[in-house]
Amino acid sequence: MGTLLGFDYGPAKIGVAVGQTLTASATPLTTLRAVRQQPDWEGIGALIAEWRPDALVVGLPYNMDDSEAEIAPRARRFSRQLQGRFHLPVHLADERLTSREARHRLGRPPKRIEELDALAAKLILETWLSEHA
């Protein structure tokens, strides 16, 4: 496949990471804040234009009992909107515990909360890459 962008969706902010299928690794990029309670489509479009990904990966939140988290329908809607706007394949990845793991990997309190969202997007993308290598 090549290059992928990963998204840690939230209604107020979305963490973004970039990854490669060749190395099955990812790097945190940025966190985009919502604009008028909508995803920052302009910011997302700019990242897609810059990185030219072959596909996108969106984290789908699950509870520990394997049921979908309350926000899961909104993450699914975001993934459908991504596909409709940018005409790229969009894959969903289990994002369970990625925020907790991001805090652990950071090893310190975040300077800005946005650090955690981009790092969580990296973990979501790496999870998907490892499952589809």
pLDDT tens figures, 16-55: 999 999 999 999 999 999 998 899 999 999 999 999 999 9
**Residues 116-133 pLDDT 10s:** 889 999 999 999 999 987
Domains located in the chain, CATH noted = 3-131 (3.30.420.140)
- DSSP class per residue in 61-76: -B-TTSSBPTTHHHHH
By the 8 A CB rule, do 129 and 19 touch?
A: yes
Distance of alpha carbon 106 from alpha carbon 119, whole angstroms: 8
Question: Got the DSSP string for 13-33?
Answer: EEEEEEEETTTTEEEEEEEEE
